[in-house]
Structure formats: structure tokens, C-alpha cells
């Protein structure tokens, strides 16, 4: 009796192990053959997105790999460290692509990709991800409206910080009636990203302006608070 129980248990265990091994081996194989295409299409998608906000003629470096690590910052809204892509042209600073997160949207975080030229003007802004109401707040997404293009060529010198608000709050930015919270959050996030750039631009470009590629970053990034 006891022997049959042991035999049965063993059979069960062996069956489970065999199925697990076969499944794992199959997955490892598929992972290996899809890894390269997945990486390639992710890279392609990223570059296509960059192209929308920073024309390819504006830089001549490897935008995807020339990155600077950024610690969590209140101005960018990132809670874990993120990266900025640095664009250079003939070894001169050309611009930077920052990721910023607005936490005060209507529903959930709004993730933005912001391209700033080295002179502090905006080259373009795009919404990466958002959960705003479809048909109401989602016009911040280029797929649903041209609103986000209002930021093209804006800068802190062109528009003083106190006008970086939606028109309803006395600023200069248009919005659609019925959805004010969403654009308000986006305008605020872009303003903060511009402020971040102003405070940190020397640090951002430091590594890439040097002739020597091995130059190291200064140990401490500037503080967020102006």
C-alpha cells in the first residue's frame, strides 16, 4: 500500500518536472530568437518618436546611446532615476530629450517626452502614456489633437514663467472647455522641465562637450529647488 503511494507520488513529481523543463526550454529558445527583433523594433519606435520632436538634422550623434542618468527630481516628477538623451552637433551641445511625469492629471500619471534645444527653447513635446478620459482629456495626445504642438518653440524667455498656465488661470495656453485639469497638468510639467533644464544644462552637456569621451560627470547634480 505504502509502496503504491510512494510510486504514485514520484510519478506525479516527475511528470510535473518534465512538463516544467520542456516549457522552460521552449520559452528560452523563443526568447532567444525574438530578442533581437524585439530590441530592434523598440529602438526603431523610440527613434521614430524622437524624430517627431527633434529633427534628425539637428544632431549628428548617437542619440539613443548618449545618455545621462538623472536622479529622482521634483522638477521632472520622476520617482526613480531616469535618463536624458543628449543631442550634439559637431561636438557642440544641440539639445536634450527629457522624460517628465505629471502626477496631477485627471486620472493617473501623464508621461511626457520633452525635447529642449541648447538655447532653452522647446523643440517639441509628446505625451508618452496617459490615462485621461477618451474624447475629453486625451487631446493632449498627438493622435487625438494638435494641442501639444502649442509648445513648439516656446521658451522661458519668450513666455515668462507666470504666463505658463492655461488661459482660464490667466496664462497664455489654450485648452478645451470641459477638460482643464489635463492641460493644466501638462503645462505645469513642461514649465518645470524647462526650469530643470535651465538649472542643470551645464551638467547635462558636460560629458559630451569634452573632446575626450572618458570625461566624467561632476559628482553632484544641482539641487532642484531654485
Partner 1 sequence: MTSMYKEITINGLWKQNSGVVQLLGLCPTLAVTTSAVNGLSLGIATALVMAASNASVSPVRQWVPTEIRVPVFILVIATLVTIIDMSINAFAHPLHKVLGIFIPLIVVNCIVLARVESFAAKNETVPSMLDGLMMGTGLALVLGLLGGIRELVGRGTLFSGLDLVFGPAAKQFVLTVIPDYHGFLLAILPPGAFLGLGSLVAIRNWIEIRNTAKASAAAPLLKIAPSH
Closer CB to partner 1, residue 137 or residue 171? 137
Closer CB to partner 1, residue 1 or residue 211? 1
Binding-site ranges for partner 1 (CB under 8 A): 8, 11-12, 15-16, 19-20, 23, 26-27, 30-31, 34, 37-38, 41-42, 44-45, 134-136
Closer CB to partner 1, residue 19 or residue 92? 19
For residues 174 and 181, the answer to whether their CB atoms sit within 8 Å is no
Provide, rounded to whole angstroms, the least separation between the CB of residue 136 and partner 1.
Answer: 8
Provide, rounded to whole angstroms, the least separation between the CB of residue 65 and partner 1.
Answer: 20
Cell 493632449 belongs to residue:
140
Residue 105 CB contacts under 8 Å (≥ 6 apart), including other chains:
130, 131, 132, 137, 181, 182, 185, 186
Provide, rounded to whole angstroms, the least separation between the CB of residue 16 and partner 1.
Answer: 6
User: What residues form DSSP beta bridges with 70?
Assistant: 82
Provide, rounded to whole angstroms, the least separation between the CB of residue 27 and partner 1.
Answer: 6
SS (H, E, C) 24-92: HHHHHHHHHHHHHHHHHHHHHHHHHHHHHHCCHHHCCCCCCCCEEEECCECCCCECCCEEEEEEEECCE
Provide, rounded to whole angstroms, the least separation between the CB of residue 191 and partner 1.
Answer: 29
Concatenated DSSP letters of 129-144:
E--PPTTTGGGGSTTT
Closer CB to partner 1, residue 41 or residue 153? 41
Provide, rounded to whole angstroms, the least separation between the CB of residue 74 and partner 1.
Answer: 29
Closer CB to partner 1, residue 45 or residue 64? 45
Closer CB to partner 1, residue 34 or residue 92? 34
Q: Which residues of 180-215 are buried (b: 16+ CB within 10 A; e: fewer)?
A: bbbbbbbbbbbbbbbbbbebbbeebbbbbeeeeeee
Amino acid at each position: 500500500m505504502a509502496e503504491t503511494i510512494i510510486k504514485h507520488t514520484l510519478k506525479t513529481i516527475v511528470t510535473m518536472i518534465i512538463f516544467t523543463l520542456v516549457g522552460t526550454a521552449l520559452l528560452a529558445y523563443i526568447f532567444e530568437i525574438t530578442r533581437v527583433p524585439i530590441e530592434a523594433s523598440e529602438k526603431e519606435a523610440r527613434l521614430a518618436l524622437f524624430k517627431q520632436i527633434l529633427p534628425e538634422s539637428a544632431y549628428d550623434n548617437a542619440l539613443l546611446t548618449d545618455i545621462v542618468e538623472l536622479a529622482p527630481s521634483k522638477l521632472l516628477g520622476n520617482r526613480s532615476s531616469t535618463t536624458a538623451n543628449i543631442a550634439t552637433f559637431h561636438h557642440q551641445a544641440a539639445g536634450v530629450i527629457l522624460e517628465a511625469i505629471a502626477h496631477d492629471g485627471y486620472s493617473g500619471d501623464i508621461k511626457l517626452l520633452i525635447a529642449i534645444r541648447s538655447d532653452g527653447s522647446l523643440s517639441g513635446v509628446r505625451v508618452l502614456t496617459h490615462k485621461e478620459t477618451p474624447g475629453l482629456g486625451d487631446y493632449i495626445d498627438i493622435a487625438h489633437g494638435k494641442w501639444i504642438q502649442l509648445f513648439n518653440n516656446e521658451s522661458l524667455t519668450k513666455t515668462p514663467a507666470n504666463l505658463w498656465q492655461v488661459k482660464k488661470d490667466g496664462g497664455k495656453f489654450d485648452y478645451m472647455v470641459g477638460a482643464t485639469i489635463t492641460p493644466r497638468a501638462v503645462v505645469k510639467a513642461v514649465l518645470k522641465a524647462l526650469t530643470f533644464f535651465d538649472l542643470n544644462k551645464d551638467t547635462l552637456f558636460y560629458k559630451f562637450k569634452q573632446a575626450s569621451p572618458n570625461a566624467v560627470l561632476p559628482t553632484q547634480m544641482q539641487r532642484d529647488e531654485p
